[in-house]
Every structure is written in C-alpha cells, then in structure tokens.
Structure 1
Amino acid sequence: MAKMDTHMLIYEAIQHGRKCLAAANVASPLLDAQVLLGHCLGLDRMALLLKRDQHVPDEPWRLYCQLIDRRANFEPVAYLVGNREFCGLDFQLSPATLIPRPDSETLVEAVLAAIADHEAPLRVLDLGTGSGCLLLSLLAVLPKATGVGLDISEDALSMAKTNAKRLGLANRASFKQSEWTAALDPKAAPFDVVLSNPPYISHDDLVQLMPDVRCYEPMRALDGGPDGLDAYRAIIEQIPPFLSPDGLLAFELGAGQAPMVGALLQAAFGQPPSIHKDLAGHDRVVLFRKALRS
C-alpha cells in the first residue's frame, strides 16, 4: 500500500506517486502519477503545474493512494480514470471494452479519406464496436450518416450507448448484441461502410502481451485464434449480403498481418485491397472497395 503524508503539496504527491510506480516497473511513472492525481483533483496537467504548491485535500489523497496502488499492479490508467480521448472525443470506458489507442485512429482517418462526400446519408456498420469509438468518431464527422454497432458483450454495448448519448449521437447510432453479423437482416438496406478492429492477437502472442493488456483488457476482444485471423475469416465470409455494391470494407491490422488479410480479401472478391500505414510506418489498415459478385 502506498504510504503518503496527507499534508503533501501537489508536486510532492506527484513525485511520491512517480517513485511508487517506478519501483513497480510501470512504463510511464511520471505521466501516470500526474494523470491519476489530476483525476482525483479534477485538474488537468497544466493546472497541476500552476497549483503545484497547494496541498492535496484528504479525500482526493485517499483516492490517489488507492489508484497508485492499483496502477502499481498494472491496472490501466484508462480504466482507473474511466475515460480516454480518441479522435478528439472523450469516451467513457469500462473493463468490458478495449482501451482506444492512437493506432486505431488510423482506421478512422483512412475511412474518412476514402469517402468522397462527407455530406452523404451513409449507412455505417461497426463490427465488435466495444466502446463505440470507431463508429461514433465517424458519425461525428459525417453529419448525415447513421450507424449500427454490433458486439457480443452486453456490457460493452451499454458503454457504447452511454458514449453515443454523451456525444449527442444517440439519434444516429444504434447498437445490438451479435456475434459478428448474426443479428442483421440480410433483406434490410446494405451498408455503405463496414469497419472493424477485430481480435487479431494469435494464441502464442497473447502470453507475451504487457500485463496492462493481458491481465485487464477483455480477452474476447484480443484473441484472434491460432494464427490471429479467425475474426477476419468470419467477417469476410459473412459480409457480402450486408455491403452495398460500391461499399467500403475496412479492417485494423495486427503486426505483419497485411499480406494474409489482403490474400483473404483477394480470394473472396478477386481483387487486392489497399494498405495504409500508421504514423510509425507500420501497415495498420486494409481497405477494400469493389462491386460484389452476384
């Protein structure tokens, strides 16, 4: 248990938290201590700097001590504070949802770049929606679009609905419990955009994940089967009835998966997709657009 003098100043508390987290081999101890103390005090990092010589009140102190202890056990900061920024929007999170990451912003950006008319009344489908961050980030930029988010987890869907309401998008987003496309009506209007950040970690790689991920994030949203490709195979097989003739299909990719997912798409539709890199230069997104076979 982190022991702290309850009369510490803000800058002292940050340094004390940093030392506790560094001793536990947490990767970013200073940043995490700042974020956690800011959460307890209702202050951003700049305000912490400006108020660095003020004392921390008792109740925020106690909460800070608890959060430092939990972070020292590698519980993710995003779960501890209950939210994460993604594409400039604030999303509430729970342990039922993956934590949105900057890599996934590449998927949103690539889809938006592939849409010629952002004012079009598009229908968007997000498979494995989690917190709803992908679908809702698109709807925030596409004012006439509507979307459906599917997820097998009821708890994740509850969080996605909460985020849609908080962001003022509940009137254009609906959510259903489903294993991939099972809950969709193939006779309904098809979707213009289908996107997914599916589980893509192979069984062998799961045990090598950082403890922050391996011990706390939902395993069902991470486990992609023996080779990491199970979800891609399932979606590619199921999606044709639900994608419009000129529709866009977009996936986030795991490391080294671009050739394999590209081959799956080419085998299914007879045409190779395009691959897009993230800011680190890694193949991160695969996009496919083609008239479907009758």
Structure 2
Amino acid sequence: MLRRAAGYLHARGSSSARLDAELLLAHSLQVRRLDLYLQFERRLEETELAGYRLLIARRGRGEPVAYIVGRKEFMKLDFEVSPAVLVPNPDTETLVHLAIERGRGLGAPVRVADVGTGSGCVAVAIAHYLPEALVWASELDEATLAVAAANVRRHGLESRVQLLSGDLLEPLPHDLQIICANLPYLNPAAELPAEVLAQPRGALFAAEAGAELVNRLLAAAPAKLAPGGLVLAEISAELVERLDLTPYSGHRLHRDLSAQIRVLEAWL
C-alpha cells in the first residue's frame, strides 16, 4: 500500500511522495510512523484501506499533509495547524536560529516580537529555546490567532508569549530588542505548486511584487526598537532590490540550508 500510494502521489507532483504516504498511513491507523516498519507484514482491513485512500486522494489534489493530519513539526516541536494558517516551513528555521543566537548575547530578559505570527511557530520556538526571552506576537486575523493561542498553550508558554490582535507592529510595545517577521512576500504573479496555493493567499502574497508588507515593517520598526535593536525578516532573493533600508545603519543577508537567500538582518 505504501508503494502504491507513493507512486500515485509522485505521479501527481509530490516531491516527498514516500514520506507523505507514510505520514498519512500512520495518521490513518493512529500509530507512529516507526510502527509502519515494526508491523510491516500487517494486513489492512477494508475499512482501514478506505480511510487511507480518502487521505491519499486529498493529498493527490494538492492539499498539504499538515492540513490533513492537523499538525506539523517545526524546530523539533509539534504544532497544531489548520487551513487558517500557513504551514510552518523548515526554511523559516533559519530566522529562528538567528533570533536565538542574537538573543543569547543580550542578557535577560530579551524583548522579542514576532510580527504576523500565524501558527505561532516562530514565537513559540524562540520562547522555548531562549528561556530568557519575553515574546510579543501580533496577528490581524482572529481565526489565525486562535491557532497560535492553542500552540502557545500546547507548549506551556502562556507566561512568556503574549498574543496581540492588530496590524503588523501597531499593537506591540516599545523598546523591543529583536523584531522577527515571516510576512507575506511572494509576488502575486508567481507560479507556485498546488500545495503552496492551497494555503491562505493572505499569508503568501503581497503587493509591490511582494515587497509591500516587508517595507512597511522596515519603516515602522525603528520606532518600536530599543537602541541597537534589530529586525530579522524572512525574504526571497527577488525581494532584496525592492527593500528600503534607509532607516538602518547596516544590514546583512543570511542563506538557508539550501544556500538560498532567506533572512534579512537589519540593525539601527
């Protein structure tokens, strides 16, 4: 069944067909992925096959695995996800690693913001791995905030991660030391896989060929930052030439594990 399902998904464009097939079968049978191999000779009942086929059909139509199973791992932490939020992307771990590294040199408490928090994965991961951090996370959409709140509770971080409703930096406090953001930055004209397009368009695309929201963030951040504060924003290589970095004394670009430009670091 795994071979057949993986072949079916590969033919429909999945770049991780075998992994998808395993994750969906484990979810369908309510076992660990490891148990698929520990019980490799297990015969599947017709009712089990029927349920699995429904999940494979959904994946074959381009629905992300994370939406089907309702969860996604990020920074070795487990997060609840739904179609209201962007699926946590491993590339975004570059942003989190940088925030943690910069925060460790600042003493306690470290005042961090996560702008447009989505599922809350960035805010939660920073608070989890940087115990001296106090994190404020903003989000405009109420359904998205509900998912973030569930993830904050899931990891027991209610005392150090505060969720705020509002647009970009508007609800955030002042004297922040690090402002993080994984805002929509894709060009609306971009051609993308069905799996990406199945996610909320408002979390993917921005006007001005993707630059609008990141530029709004860069313009507003100095008023919220403490002296010497910095901004860490996920971007693409295509966005670099469209960014206005006038308010900042310096900046650098960081690459992800695939050697792609992934994060802008700008400081006052």
Matched AA of 2:115: L
Contact 2:104 2:130 in 1 (8 A): no
Map Cα deviations across residues 172-211 of structure 1 (whole Å, 9 max, x no partner). 1111221112334xxx542111100111111211xx0111
Q: CA deviation at 1:289?
A: 2.1
Whole-angstrom distance in 2 between the partners of 1:142 and 1:118: 11
Are 2:51 and 1:72 equivalent residues in the alignment? no
Aligned to 2:196: 213
Matched AA of 2:252: S
Q: CA deviation at 1:118?
A: 6.8
Matched AA of 1:192: Q
Aligned to 2:231: 249
Matched AA of 1:212: E
Aligned to 2:115: 127
Contact 2:103 2:130 in 1 (8 A): no
Q: CA deviation at 1:66?
A: 1.3
- Relative to the length of structure 1, the TM-score reads 0.85
Contact 1:204 1:226 in 2 (8 A): no
Aligned to 1:231: 213
Whole-angstrom distance in 2 between the partners of 1:131 and 1:55: 37
Are 2:113 and 1:113 equivalent residues in the alignment? no
C-alpha root-mean-square deviation of aligned residues, in Å?
Answer: 1.8
1:22-101 matched pairs, under 5 angstroms: 22-57=10-45, 59-101=47-89
- Relative to the length of structure 2, the TM-score reads 0.93
Structure whose CA Rg is larger = 1
Q: CA deviation at 1:52?
A: 0.9
Whole-angstrom distance in 2 between the partners of 1:211 and 1:226: 23
1:254-269 matched pairs, under 5 angstroms: 254-261=236-243, 264-265=244-245, 267-269=246-248
Contact 1:180 1:235 in 2 (8 A): yes
3-state SS of 1:162 partner: helix
Out of 139, 157, 180, the position equivalent to 1:195 is: 180
- Check 1:276–1:23 CA distance in 2 against 1; reply closer, same or farther (3 A cut): closer
Contact 1:17 1:68 in 2 (8 A): yes
- Check 1:91–1:119 CA distance in 2 against 1; reply closer, same or farther (3 A cut): farther
Are 2:189 and 1:204 equivalent residues in the alignment? yes
1:177-192 matched pairs, under 5 angstroms: 177-184=165-172, 188-192=173-177
Q: CA deviation at 1:258?
A: 3.1
Matched AA of 1:209: L
3-state SS of 2:238 partner: coil
Gap regions ≥5 residues in structure 1: 1-12
Whole-angstrom distance in 1 between the partners of 2:50 and 2:238: 45
Matched AA of 2:176: F
Q: CA deviation at 1:149?
A: 1.0
3-state SS of 1:241 partner: helix
Gap regions ≥5 residues in structure 2: none
Whole-angstrom distance in 2 between the partners of 1:58 and 1:193: 54
Q: CA deviation at 1:171?
A: 1.6
Whole-angstrom distance in 2 between the partners of 1:76 and 1:112: 29
Identity across the alignment (%): 32
Whole-angstrom distance in 2 between the partners of 1:235 and 1:151: 13
Aligned to 1:150: 138
Whole-angstrom distance in 1 between the partners of 2:139 and 2:252: 26
- Which consecutive segments of 4 or more residues in structure 1 shift more than 6 A? none
Whole-angstrom distance in 2 between the partners of 1:117 and 1:25: 44
Contact 1:36 1:68 in 2 (8 A): yes
Q: CA deviation at 1:77?
A: 0.6
Q: CA deviation at 1:228?
A: 1.0
Aligned to 1:5: none
Whole-angstrom distance in 1 between the partners of 2:107 and 2:126: 12
Equivalent pairs counted in the alignment come to 268
1:151-166 matched pairs, under 5 angstroms: 151-166=139-154
Are 2:151 and 1:168 equivalent residues in the alignment? no
Map Cα deviations across residues 44-103 of structure 1 (whole Å, 9 max, x no partner). 332211201112345543331211110110101111111111111111101111111111
Contact 2:174 2:223 in 1 (8 A): no
Contact 2:185 2:235 in 1 (8 A): yes
Whole-angstrom distance in 1 between the partners of 2:47 and 2:226: 55
